[in-house]
Structure formats: structure tokens, C-alpha cells
Amino acid sequence: MGTTIATIDSAQVLDRTSFGNQKREMAAVLSRNLPSFYRHAFRYLGNVADAEDAVQDALLSAYKHVGQFRGQARMSTWLTAIVINSARMQLRRRRRQTHVFLDEHPDPERYALSELLPDHRPSPAEQCLSSDLAKNVLQLTRQLSPTLRRAFQLRHLDGLTIREMTDILGVAEGTVKARIARARAKLRSLMRKRGG
């Protein structure tokens, strides 16, 4: 019976010693590879603050479970895998959009540049409306006289300036402006008729 207790005590001492060695090894790996862990997390998350959170969560989890490290891979490989898994978990938990209050000035260190920039693209509803409107306007321009149609097309569809139009059409600036105004008025009239 005495040998059994002595065997158990020596096994516990060995476990504590290997656990202490694993902690020391982990500390050494952290001192060498911490910037690498941040880079791995940042690649997944694209945000410094989120990457820091992911690394902190990963290292806390690794420290709690260092006794489960079996040495089948290097400690740095094991820790890198935990950091990557932590970053992936954070991606799953992350909200789709970051909300910034209007009276708050966002910290550029905390938010990615893409989160700070407003999206000026039209919404799907606006795209649908503008597509229908453009289709209707193009159909209605066929009802304009060739002179008015050409002026409208050069100005609004091709985006030319008045000066560029005077060169192309070979007429005075006042004439170009008058043709554009008449084309718009005619199109408004045709749209009212079509809508009503």
C-alpha cells in the first residue's frame, strides 16, 4: 500500500513539473511570437481592436488548458491554431455592421477605414427606380425632334459641357442652352401624359 501512495505522489510531482515546464515554454513562445499572433488574427478580422480581443481570448484559453498540450506539435503551432480559431469565433459573433452614434467621434484606431466611410451607392430600390426612369426617358427621347434629342443626349447621357456641345453642334452657347431647356420641357410634358 505504501508503494501505491508513493507512486501516486511521484506521478503528481511529475505532472506538476511538466505543467510548470509547459507554462515556462508558453511564456517563451509568447515573448517571441506575440506579434505574429496579432498578424494572424488581424488577417481574419481586419480590425486592430478585434484582433487584440481575439488574441487575448485565445491566450487566456490556452493558459487555462496548457495542461492539455501534448507536445505533438510545437507550442507556437498549437498557440497559432488557438488564435486562428478565436478569430474565427469572433467573426461568427461579430455583428454585420458596426453602429456609430452620430454624436460620437469614431476612434480610427478602433474601426477599419471601410467602417468609417459612408456607402454612397444607391440602394436596390433606388437602382430599380432609376433603371425604370432611365428606360422611360430613353423611350420618350425618341419622340423629340432630332435637334432636341441630340442636345439632350450630348448633355445628359454623354455628360458633355455646354462649351463642348457648342463645338460639336457648331451653334452659339445660347442656342445650345435653349435646345436643352426645350428638350427637358418636352420630356416633362411627355412624362405627365404617360403618367396621367
CATH number at residue 27: 1.10.1740.10
**Global pTM exceeds 0.95:** no
- Domain extent, residue 129, equals 124-195
Closest CA to 81 of 29, 18, 31: 29
pLDDT at residue 75 in the model: 81
Under a CB-based contact definition with an 8 Å cutoff, are residues 88 and 44 in contact?
yes
Write down the pLDDT at residue 111: 55
CA–CA distance, 182 with 177 (Å, rounded to integer) = 9
Q: Residues in the chain, how many?
A: 196
Which pLDDT does position 130 carry in this prediction?
65
**Stretches in the chain below the pLDDT threshold 50:** 1-16, 97
Residue 4 lies in a domain: no
22 and 69 Cβ atoms separated by less than 8 Å: yes
Which tens digit of pLDDT belongs to each residue from 109-145?
555 555 556 666 666 666 666 677 778 888 888 899 9
CATH number at residue 139: 1.10.10.10
Dist. CA 151–CA 145, nearest whole Å:
10
Question: How many independent structural domains does the chain possess?
Answer: 2
Q: Are residues 93 and 164 in the same domain?
A: no
